[in-house]
Chains A and B, each alone.
Chain A
């Protein structure tokens, strides 16, 4: 009798174990984009833990399957298929990089699995793919913000130096396309690779055109080298970076050369500098404190992208359930919500929901971020 009761007890306990939400995640934890991928991984793990402590989503615990894409598009594809076919996840958050996301965009549709990307390129959601959402601000908005800033300062001669990867490529396209609209003149168009160790040749060519500002678009250690080389060559053009370097690690690598660099970024980095009644402040400060306490390292906007993606996913499960069509339609009707990147307004035709207001302009000063206007 005792045995029978024991078995029944086990079965009753096991039932909720089987009812779980399976969440897949793909981040560039290693490779050149690792200072984006690692905070994303840590943020997601932290959030899943928190959510499970309070009973999960809609009463079901979340089981996380997280893989490292190593920053490689081919790896992202392989691991995505694994998540869908072997781990049978309900949705995937990530990948970190634009290139990787574009490489798996069609797979999301093929395998009918919603994808909440943490990458920036606007091509992720344009043309629209029913299954693909993205949480970061687009490079279009970043470029617009930068050009606006320059225009207000009366500057118009711009030299661009971009990375040869999905993110840099995307940024470069936007920089070239939007130049006319804001009255910018592109006087130089140089490129560098993630693994390059010396950019003095490109910067020398740039300095010969005497630009008002140099805009560098990349992620990882390479932009830090661009900063150092710019300093070394004594170029006095304004140095502007993309939101790809919105991480303390960049300041660490660039050292003194980071001083005075301007970039667009989410408000997360300067959460404390916002006014007390700013509508974003609460979400940002809460996330910042939780992350920094848990991981003993500075918060970064990239971790924030994972946070926002998880919010979308969570809402989709709560209001729609695990079936892809229902989840997607729920997220599309999410209405306005405040995430770390800004105020989102996701609709059926806009799977990103952010605009230029999601960015603020920052300046690096004394090894820290400073809000400028």
Chain B
């Protein structure tokens, strides 16, 4: 049953990435193929701040989070806003281009090696029924849940959050009501980057960070979002956890290489049989 624990751990990361996808999708309808790169950048940032500048974690982490917001906003301005007469294909491909550029920057700035950071909390192995969980993994799970809850509160309670939801329902109507749609879009990317960086920060002590990490992380997060239902907040979380557990399960019964295939098979099954995922909402589309 060990796979449940490792599954929930990796699933929490997928959940955070899925949330990032959903936020951008909900406010802009765009699928951000570079979401995984935000996670990679998170890992790289915390490495730089901790190992190169030697800052204590309580200063490095908030700095990294601030940088995340800035990077996300910059990302939106540089890549998304500049596309004139946007259509679906252009928006999908521009985020693909962005992911390539971010990956290339990651390689140039931080090199090709895997970088590690020391654990943030004392290393302990928790003996649980039918398996073990390290303190690092527990941190991942807790941070992810806290982040998800905080975000959902933000969307439900704050006026900014309400503005987000207004944009999701109908951009034009929201604009007429005085919501600055363009600013909301920028914020959406900033928050998505924040989520990615949080994921990157908590996962690096466990499995290092390498400049190529973004690809798979992004793909799996996207798969998790679809599994849970694209656009559904808690669907993304559920999808992430489920995907992590599925993967862990398949890795324990098959040669580990096949586990990726199974994750994608599940995605294909969802797409073919129930495209709106487990908790997705139907959205009316213009013909």
Which chain B positions have C-beta within 8 A of A190? 255-256
Contact of A34 among B112, B118, B132, B255 (CB under 8 A): B112
A192 B112 Cβ-Cβ under 8 A = no
B256 A191 Cβ-Cβ under 8 A = yes
A193 B256 Cβ-Cβ under 8 A = yes
Interface string of A179-210 (1 = CB under 8 A from B): 00000000000111101111111101100000
Interface centre among B3, B6, B10, B112 (most CB of A within 10 A): B112
Given contacts A201-B3, A204-B3, contact A191 B257 (CB under 8 A): yes
Contact of A205 among B127, B207, B252 (CB under 8 A): B252
20 more contacts with CB within 8 A, not counting A193-B257, A201-B252, A221-B210, are: A30-B112, A193-B256, A197-B10, A198-B6, A198-B9, A198-B10, A198-B248, A200-B2, A201-B6, A202-B256, A204-B2, A221-B208, A224-B208, A232-B132, A232-B134, A234-B125, A234-B127, A234-B132, A253-B116, A256-B123
CB distance from A250 to the nearest CB of B (A): 11
CB distance from B286 to the nearest CB of A (A): 40
A164 B113 Cβ-Cβ under 8 A = no
Measured between alpha carbons, how far is A192 from B257 in the docked complex, in Å? 7
A164 B112 Cβ-Cβ under 8 A = no
Measured between alpha carbons, how far is A103 from B134 in the docked complex, in Å? 41
CB pairs A–B below 8 angstroms (7 shown): A35-B113, A190-B255, A198-B248, A201-B6, A201-B259, A221-B210, A256-B123
Interface string of A247-273 (1 = CB under 8 A from B): 001001101100000000000000000
CB distance from B229 to the nearest CB of A (A): 26
Residue A31 at the B interface, CB < 8 A? yes
Residue B114 at the A interface, CB < 8 A? yes
CB distance from B110 to the nearest CB of A (A): 12
Measured between alpha carbons, how far is A29 from B132 in the docked complex, in Å? 37
Residue B216 at the A interface, CB < 8 A? yes
Residue B67 at the A interface, CB < 8 A? no
Residue A325 at the B interface, CB < 8 A? no
Which chain A positions have C-beta within 8 A of B252? 201-202, 204-205
Which chain A positions have C-beta within 8 A of B5? 200
Residue in B closest to A38 when the chains form the complex, CB atoms: B113
Measured between alpha carbons, how far is A205 from B3 in the docked complex, in Å? 11
A31 B6 Cβ-Cβ under 8 A = no
A201 B207 Cβ-Cβ under 8 A = no
Measured between alpha carbons, how far is A73 from B5 in the docked complex, in Å? 36
Which chain A positions have C-beta within 8 A of B210? 221
Contact of A200 among B3, B113, B212 (CB under 8 A): B3
Measured between alpha carbons, how far is A176 from B132 in the docked complex, in Å? 31
Which chain A positions have C-beta within 8 A of B266? none
Which chain A positions have C-beta within 8 A of B212? 195
Residue in A closest to B248 when the chains form the complex, CB atoms: A201
Which chain B positions have C-beta within 8 A of A205? 252
Measured between alpha carbons, how far is A232 from B135 in the docked complex, in Å? 10
Residues facing B in A59-98 (CB within 8 A) are none
Measured between alpha carbons, how far is A167 from B230 in the docked complex, in Å? 41
A positions within 8 Å CB-CB of B? 29-31, 34-35, 164, 190-193, 195-202, 204-205, 220-221, 224-225, 228, 231-234, 249, 252-253, 255-256
Residue B143 at the A interface, CB < 8 A? no
Interface string of B82-125 (1 = CB under 8 A from A): 00000000000000000000000001000011101010000101
Residue B60 at the A interface, CB < 8 A? no
Which chain B positions have C-beta within 8 A of A231? 125
Interface centre among B9, B107, B123, B127 (most CB of A within 10 A): B123
A191 B255 Cβ-Cβ under 8 A = yes
Measured between alpha carbons, how far is A31 from B210 in the docked complex, in Å? 10
Which chain B positions have C-beta within 8 A of A234? 125, 127, 132
Measured between alpha carbons, how far is A277 from B5 in the docked complex, in Å? 54
A253 B114 Cβ-Cβ under 8 A = yes
Residue in B closest to A200 when the chains form the complex, CB atoms: B6
Residue B145 at the A interface, CB < 8 A? no
Which chain A positions have C-beta within 8 A of B123? 256
Residue B278 at the A interface, CB < 8 A? no
Measured between alpha carbons, how far is A231 from B127 in the docked complex, in Å? 13
Residue in B closest to A233 when the chains form the complex, CB atoms: B132
CB distance from A193 to the nearest CB of B (A): 6
Which chain A positions have C-beta within 8 A of B112? 29-31, 34
Residues facing A in B113-157 (CB within 8 A) are 113-114, 116, 118, 123, 125, 127, 131-132, 134
Residue B74 at the A interface, CB < 8 A? no
Which chain A positions have C-beta within 8 A of B134? 232
CB distance from A203 to the nearest CB of B (A): 8
Measured between alpha carbons, how far is A199 from B6 in the docked complex, in Å? 9
Given contacts A204-B252, A232-B134, A234-B132, contact A195 B114 (CB under 8 A): no
CB distance from B280 to the nearest CB of A (A): 28
Contact of B251 among A202, A220, A255 (CB under 8 A): A202
Residue in A closest to B216 when the chains form the complex, CB atoms: A195
B207 A225 Cβ-Cβ under 8 A = yes
Measured between alpha carbons, how far is A221 from B116 in the docked complex, in Å? 10
CB distance from A68 to the nearest CB of B (A): 9
